[in-house]
Structure 1
Amino acid sequence: MAERMSPVDAAWLQMEEPTSLMVITAVLWFDGPLDFERLVRRVEERLVARHPRFRQRVVTRGLWGTPHWEEVPAFRLEEHLRRTRLPPPGGRDALERLVGESMGTPLEPSRPLWELLLVEGYEEGCALLARVHHCIADGISLGRVLLSLTDASAEEGPEREDAFEEPEAPPGTWTRLWRGARKVADSTQAALKRGGELWAEPIQLMDLAVEGARGASALSRLLSLVPDPPSPFTGRLGPVKRVAWSRPVPVEQVRAIGHGTGSTVNDVMMAVVAGTLRRYVRARDGEPKDLRAVVPVNLRSLHEPLPRTLGNRFGMVFLPLPLALEEPMERLWELKRRMDTLKRSPEASVVFGMLTAAGLAPAPVERAAVEVMRRKSSLVLTHVPGPRKPVYLAGARLSGMAFWVPMAGRLGLGLSLFRYAGHVTLGVAVDAGLVPEPRVLIEDFEAELEALAQAVRQVARASSSS
């Protein structure tokens, strides 16, 4: 029997366009070869058997074509888990090309909307490319699902307990934001279970999301945001995507930058991202202006088990990045101030309610509502926490990972920060028609990180000599 798709999951399904597929992409690379038979067993046990969405396809029912989940009569894992080999010499450029090409390829709609590709011949080891449709789950949840395939050692043994690298924050800041957004998520889902009348009245769900003066104020602020100025990162999207990722940066190096300024690792990384984009714009004879990043906010505790049915459980905030400020230290201070303001806002809760309401509306209405929000930002910026200690999959040690949520509408740039085993990696995904060479952004990122570190050292020297 088919199961009706939740409103938020349906919203992500309906957003898909030929030039912006709503598919979450991850690439994991390892220091040695994977045992393919062990990998097959892991996927069967911890993915397919545990989470039914990986055995179900999407079908539509009723007059309005409402999406439902339906069990595939004869599920075949070999249709979703395949292997390939990079041509020699099998370096990073070849893997980045493969990942970018996959981003323009739709998933087969008659099957469950996911695939894994074991990429052999990558450097001294191999890589695993994962693609999962956003209607199955949000990025944080899918990251946890993929990492649940791993073990604490190279040997087969009991499943490891998750211990994630969580974003740092002063006590009570992100906690308040998460709790407020989660309260709205819980209220919305409970309301949906009370009766069918809410399915017919999406506006009641909006009331749940914005009840109270603070919620109404946040909604008003969101709707009144003027569109972002033109930039190299926005415009008409095409089918060709490209990706790149940075070397893993030691978290202690980032923490040292923030130590003297009272900034968290997250504050510092966001400031470096702002400086990276400023460098890119200036190099193309542009005048750097502040741009907003859409930042997903997780509504699930990382300490709770994932539900079997997964689903999307996150809100979003619109973070204005201070590209207009010239000095790295100024950008860090201003970015921290803006981050602290957002942490006290119910904005993530409001966006969750808006996505829920949009998912209940007919597809044209949903697309129009989402388009209004898209024009208020220029890029997607997400943070994915990973394990604190090294992990292994099918006998090989995980060396690193990059992760991207979909680019949508006119947004041609997606950035991700992945923290794993004491390091953080920046992943860049671009629309090739807007940003032809993502590797340039990686070079700008590494230069900006050093520039900010140098600025902090200069301030420290000046303070010690005075």
Structure 2
Amino acid sequence: MVTRVTARSAGKQAAQKVARNVQKNVTRAVSGTLGLSGERMSKVDTAWLRMDCDANLMMIVGVWQLAPGVKHAAVCERIENSLLKYDRFRQRVVEDAGGATWVNDRNFDLANHVVLEKLPKAAGGNQQEALQDRVAALATQRLDPKRPLWQIHLVEDYTGSDGVKGSAMIVRIHHCIADGIALISVTMSLVDGGAPPPERRKKNAAATGAEDWIADTLLKPFTDITVKALGAVGEGAARSLGMLGDPKKGMEQGMHGSMDMARILLQVLKDGAAMALMPDDSKTRLKGKPGGSKKVAWCQPIPLDEVKAIGKALNCSINDVLLSCVAGALGEYLKSLGDDVTGQEIRAMVPVNLRPLDQAYKLGNRFGLVPLVLPIGVDNPIERVYEVRRRMAALKGSYQPLLAFSLLAVAGLLIKPAQDMMLNLFSKKTTAVMTNVPGPREKLKFCGSTLEQSMFWVPQSGDVGLGVSILSYGGGVQFGVITDSKLCPEPQRIIDEFVPEFAKLSIVTLMLPWGE
């Protein structure tokens, strides 16, 4: 009898323990889903968090070259007084079944995030190749998931290809923290005289459920933010997009508003079909299964005034001129390896900002993607720049960035295998990811030193093995590439074609029969 009672008591205690554990797990999951134990990560940011794979990590990687040099202690003090004002850089990520939550890192130690690097000495003192190798290695090194997802690697003593002695900083930030436009805001708070981020009001934790997600990720992009970002023309389009966020107001607009809405929705359907039915781009050696290791290269800046002069002479934008030179450099690189590029094109996914710049301090990801097909097979530089201009003009007014943004939002709701299947739509039909960012016109100061050069690369996803970065800064334009070493083992050969392509375009432009 006693044995039976003891067994019954033990069974009851075991059941109660299981019940407590289940309750604890359910409470943890629900509180995470509702954002009660921290700040809930948006579904778009969650999609970026889960997009890491062996071939491509979702990190934004940047390089600063400073002269004269800076010391580790000074950098740490600056980071403490500026970067850490943004909550994200003190928060780690906790994942659960419903997504992820930003949680303050109780064990935060700046020493884990600002680390010293020492490059090997090089003949002639030029350490650029060693710096490129280190950037490439770090681009494939995962950030510690138990800590805030960023790290700065400081090389106190660095000599670049221009012979100037100074320092170099390699910055790695996971894409789930912010997109490139938001990180420009972060950069401006880091430099000398930079303003701290505005005070951010705490979000009501109970209002971060499904309704808030729908409002934040699906309705907001269709309001005036997107109208401004995409350069949509006409009051009718603005009213129509506004109606999606305010249906009651839309009904008051009457028949005229309905006609505008119909046009917008028709364009959305058209762009959606175009994305879904995108043909594969040309099968070049730059496209294939990545090996997982990286190579990085960049060139010295070319004068921005010269780019502007060419654009003005050809009635093209600076963007048209630079993208044409990228297409030419890629074409020449492939031809130098014996490939025939006649009639070939490669598709590059180009990020498009979907937020006003005065909201960039809020971090997170608010951008869409548009597919730009580069005519690498067009040999004549004038013909090529006009073809790029035509294709860029065709993208204006497109809603493909919005559709891509919404696709990422939906992907953030899915389990990783389903998310991977959805996002393979981009990687299978894409050769490159390309960014073209206008930076400050004047050179900035950091800890008393001049920021001489600045480069960064956004990550490639899936099997995409080529990243192209164009950054205008301090009166110059720099062109950089990051490649999978299996698909492109010598990216410097692409870089070496960029300046000659620009020179060719300049010479041919000068030779055109201009009227008096």
TM-score by length of 2: 0.77
Report the secondary structure of 1:406's partner residue.
coil
CA–CA distance in structure 1, aligned partners of residues 329 and 149 of structure 2: 34
Residue in structure 1 matched with residue 424 of structure 2 by the alignment:
371
Residue in structure 1 matched with residue 514 of structure 2 by the alignment:
463
Is 1:249 the counterpart of 2:249? The answer is: no
Structure 1 gaps of 5+ residues are 152-156, 162-172, 192-207
Is 1:106 the counterpart of 2:142? The answer is: yes
CA contact (8 A) 1:90 1:121 kept: no
Question: Which of 305, 324, 327 is residue 274 of structure 1 equivalent to?
Answer: 327
CA contact (8 A) 1:176 1:343 kept: no
Residue in structure 2 matched with residue 203 of structure 1 by the alignment:
none
Residue in structure 2 matched with residue 138 of structure 1 by the alignment:
179
CA–CA distance in structure 1, aligned partners of residues 472 and 134 of structure 2: 23
Q: How does 1:217-256 map to 2 (within 5 A)?
A: 217-256=270-309
Offset of residue 182 of structure 1: 11
CA contact (8 A) 1:113 1:132 kept: yes
Offset of residue 144 of structure 1: 2.9
Residue in structure 1 matched with residue 127 of structure 2 by the alignment:
91
Q: How does 1:316-327 map to 2 (within 5 A)?
A: 316-327=369-380
Is 1:73 the counterpart of 2:124? The answer is: no
Question: Which of 189, 211, 231 is residue 148 of structure 1 equivalent to?
Answer: 189
Letter in 2 for 1:298: N
Q: How does 1:166-245 map to 2 (within 5 A)?
A: 175=228, 177-178=230-231, 212-245=265-298
Distance 1:336 1:284, change over 3 A: same
Whichever structure has more helix as a proportion of its residues is 2
Residue in structure 2 matched with residue 306 of structure 1 by the alignment:
360
Task: Note the alpha carbon deviations across 1:118-160, whole angstroms, 9 max, x for none.
Answer: 1122110011110000111112212331342012xxxxx5649
Offset of residue 385 of structure 1: 2.4
Task: Note the alpha carbon deviations across 1:293-332, whole angstroms, 9 max, x for none.
Answer: 1000112223x04344x10010110001111222111100
Task: Note the alpha carbon deviations across 1:151-183, whole angstroms, 9 max, x for none.
Answer: 2xxxxx56499xxxxxxxxxxx99561569999
CA contact (8 A) 1:185 1:353 kept: no
CA–CA distance in structure 2, aligned partners of residues 453 and 251 of structure 1: 13
Is 1:59 the counterpart of 2:60? The answer is: no
CA–CA distance in structure 2, aligned partners of residues 143 and 424 of structure 1: 16
Offset of residue 190 of structure 1: 10
CA–CA distance in structure 1, aligned partners of residues 147 and 238 of structure 2: 32
Letter in 1 for 2:174: H
Larger radius of gyration: 2
CA–CA distance in structure 1, aligned partners of residues 166 and 495 of structure 2: 23
Distance 1:186 1:80, change over 3 A: farther
Report the secondary structure of 1:148's partner residue.
helix
Residue in structure 1 matched with residue 83 of structure 2 by the alignment:
47
Distance 1:414 1:224, change over 3 A: same
Residue in structure 2 matched with residue 403 of structure 1 by the alignment:
456
Distance 1:287 1:186, change over 3 A: farther
Distance 1:190 1:56, change over 3 A: farther
Residue in structure 2 matched with residue 389 of structure 1 by the alignment:
442
Residue in structure 1 matched with residue 216 of structure 2 by the alignment:
none
Offset of residue 188 of structure 1: 9.5
Distance 1:183 1:370, change over 3 A: farther
Q: How much is the aligned-residue C-alpha RMSD, in angstroms?
A: 2.7
CA–CA distance in structure 2, aligned partners of residues 69 and 106 of structure 1: 19
Stretch of structure 1 that moved more, 71-80 or 139-148: 139-148
Distance 1:129 1:360, change over 3 A: same
Residue in structure 2 matched with residue 340 of structure 1 by the alignment:
393
CA–CA distance in structure 1, aligned partners of residues 246 and 41 of structure 2: 16
Offset of residue 11 of structure 1: 0.7
Offset of residue 419 of structure 1: 1.1
Report the secondary structure of 1:400's partner residue.
strand
Report the secondary structure of 1:360's partner residue.
coil
Stretch of structure 1 that moved more, 28-37 or 390-399: 28-37
Report the secondary structure of 2:469's partner residue.
strand
CA–CA distance in structure 2, aligned partners of residues 272 and 364 of structure 1: 38
Offset of residue 426 of structure 1: 0.6
CA–CA distance in structure 1, aligned partners of residues 86 and 238 of structure 2: 22
Residue in structure 2 matched with residue 27 of structure 1 by the alignment:
63
Letter in 1 for 2:339: G
Is 1:15 the counterpart of 2:51? The answer is: yes
Residue in structure 1 matched with residue 314 of structure 2 by the alignment:
261
Residue in structure 1 matched with residue 337 of structure 2 by the alignment:
284
CA–CA distance in structure 2, aligned partners of residues 121 and 306 of structure 1: 33
Distance 1:6 1:96, change over 3 A: same
Offset of residue 3 of structure 1: 2.6
CA–CA distance in structure 2, aligned partners of residues 113 and 229 of structure 1: 36
